[in-house]
Amino acid sequence: MNGNGVLDYHYLPSSFALNTLGKVRVEVQERRYTWLLTVRQNATNSANVDVVVFFKRALENIATDEMLHDARFTMGSTKVNVTYLTGNNPTTGLPYKPYMRRGSYVLDANNAFWYRINSVTDDNAGNAVLTLEVPANATNYSQSPLAPPKAIFPRAVVDVYPIGSKSYQSYQ
């Protein structure tokens, strides 16, 4: 299978006769690591870029892993208040509770900043307080109802590598 979910057949050339074949070694590339880029546009024709690396990310979990949860980040604070739905999603049967563990990552979905979680205090009734390893770079809540404070808690993040600011030209 080549990753598209369809079994592809690749036959040996007719020049390969069974009696001339020696040892055969078949290798299959396993997709262990995947990655994504997070890009935050700056005001000066540049963008800050982070590379997020995943290990054995299960694509069938993306719907629940990338679910938005209410989370309030405050610039300069290591505390994040999270509110989540309780129970299970009737469509998937999976719990609504986000993947919040010490050492895992949270994405401030409003400002596109990644943070490693240092500790979690969870009442298991829909409220949790996270302690981040570093203070938040931005506040993600305001008076605007169009941009409520949200976060994503993906599983299987190995690490987040900031590759810095990259400049670009506008092609308008």
Cα–Cα distance for residue pair 61/144, rounded to 1 Å: 31
Region of 90 please: left (phi>0), alpha (psi -120 to 50) or beta.
alpha
Q: How many residues does the chain have?
A: 172
pTM of the model: 0.76
Q: What is the DSSP string of 99-158?
A: ---TT-EEEETTTTEEEEEEEEEE-SSSEEEEEESS--SS----S-TTS--EEE--S-EE
Which residue(s) pair with 114 in the sheet?
Answer: 107
In the three-class reduction of DSSP (H, G, I as helix; E, B as strand; rest coil), residue 66 is classed as coil
Q: What is the pLDDT along the chain (172 residues), one digit of tens a residue?
A: 456 666 666 666 666 555 565 666 776 666 788 899 999 888 777 889 999 999 988 777 676 778 899 999 999 999 999 999 888 878 777 778 899 999 999 999 999 999 999 999 999 899 999 999 999 999 888 767 777 899 999 989 999 999 988 776 655 4
CA distance 92 to 126: 19
